[in-house]
């Protein structure tokens, strides 16, 4: 399973990319606004930090303007993935871009029917939001299971990119279901390293080693 970082914070991205465990980046207008930078400058800088896909979202709501924004974003770097909302205009834009071999991430997916349409439109990635479904009393992971099953039934090439991740458990369960990608905030990525028994074991090993008075270096 690929791990994308959901961030537009340049310092965060620089730090975590040093792990060589980050496969791509997703951004959105809210994250760009939080960064305080110009969207074109921020996306271009991020694309220079990672070799994998960087999702840059259009802000237009009609097809014509989406296409113009997409063209401008694609000119920033070769690894830009155009992110469009799951609306009729968004899918029309997805269809047109995908015909020209442009990578497209269709976002704000909340149902299996939407996911089917995105796959038929040629989306590279579909981004179902598990956390936001959990917030309204539904089980967001059930949607991931359904989409993975449907895509497997018809050999759709669209990759299931699980978004709105709220914790490590969402990552684990998405992997068990068979999702292709999860996009996670920095906090969740760092939490994936942690377990109290790891800390306890390391402390014991270091204590025992110090008692020997030896040094490998």
Q: Alpha-carbon distance 61 to 59, whole Å?
A: 7
- Residues 28-68 pLDDT 10s: 999 999 999 999 999 999 999 999 999 999 999 999 999 99
- pLDDT value for 106: 98
- CATH no. for residue 71? 3.20.20.70
Of the candidates 115, 106, 60, the one whose C-alpha atom is nearest the C-alpha of residue 82 is 106
Residue 30 falls within a domain, yes or no?
Answer: yes
Of the candidates 174, 155, 152, the one whose C-alpha atom is nearest the C-alpha of residue 163 is 174
Q: Alpha-carbon distance 122 to 94, whole Å?
A: 7
- pLDDT value for 97: 98
Retrieve residue 189's tokens.
């990525």
Q: Catalytic annotation on 83?
A: yes
C-alpha neighbours within 13 Å on the C-beta side of residue 72: 13
b/e 115-150 (16+ beta carbons within 10 angstroms → b): bbbbbebbbbbbbbbbeebeeeeeebbebbbebbeb
Residue 147 falls within a domain, yes or no?
Answer: yes
- pLDDT value for 147: 98
What is the domain range of residue 104?
2-212
- Please tell me the total count of domains within the chain: 1
Q: Alpha-carbon distance 178 to 149, whole Å?
A: 9
Residue 217 falls within a domain, yes or no?
Answer: no
Of the candidates 124, 123, 167, 115, the one whose C-alpha atom is nearest the C-alpha of residue 144 is 115
Which of 72, 83, 187, 190 does the annotation list as catalytic?
83
- pLDDT value for 73: 98
Query: Residue 84 phi/psi, 5° resolution?
Result: -130, 150
Residue 121 falls within a domain, yes or no?
Answer: yes
**Cα dist. 69→38, 60, 120, 155 in Å?**
14, 8, 23, 31
Q: Alpha-carbon distance 76 to 49, whole Å?
A: 13
- Residues 162-209 pLDDT 10s: 999 999 999 999 999 999 999 999 999 999 999 999 999 999 999 999
Residue 195 falls within a domain, yes or no?
Answer: yes
Residue 68 falls within a domain, yes or no?
Answer: yes
Residue 207 falls within a domain, yes or no?
Answer: yes
**CB 93 within 8 Å of CB 84:** yes
**CB 141 within 8 Å of CB 133:** no
């Amino acid at each position: 399973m690929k791990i994308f970082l959901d961030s537009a914070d340049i310092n965060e991205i620089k730090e975590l990319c040093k792990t060589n465990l980050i496969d791509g980046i997703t951004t959105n207008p809210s994250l760009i606004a939080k960064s305080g930078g110009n969207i074109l400058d921020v996306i271009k800088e991020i694309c220079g930090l990672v070799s994998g896909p960087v999702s840059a979202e259009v802000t237009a709501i009609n097809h014509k303007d989406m296409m113009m924004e997409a063209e401008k974003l694609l000119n920033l770097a070769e690894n830009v993935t155009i992110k469009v909302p799951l609306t009729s205009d968004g899918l029309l834009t997805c269809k047109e871009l995908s015909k020209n071999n442009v990578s497209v991430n269709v976002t704000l997916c909340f149902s299996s029917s939407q996911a089917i349409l995105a796959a038929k439109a040629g989306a590279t990635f579909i981004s179902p939001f598990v956390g936001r479904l959990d917030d309204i009393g539904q089980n967001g992971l059930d949607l991931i299971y359904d989409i993975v099953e449907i895509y497997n039934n018809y050999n759709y090439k669209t990759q299931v990119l699980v978004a709105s991740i709220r914790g490590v458990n969402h990552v684990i369960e998405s992997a068990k279901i068979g999702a292709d990608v999860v996009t996670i905030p920095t906090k969740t990525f760092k939490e994936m390293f942690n377990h109290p028994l790891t800390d306890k074991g390391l402390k014991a090993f270091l204590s025992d080693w110090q008692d020997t008075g030896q040094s490998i270096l």
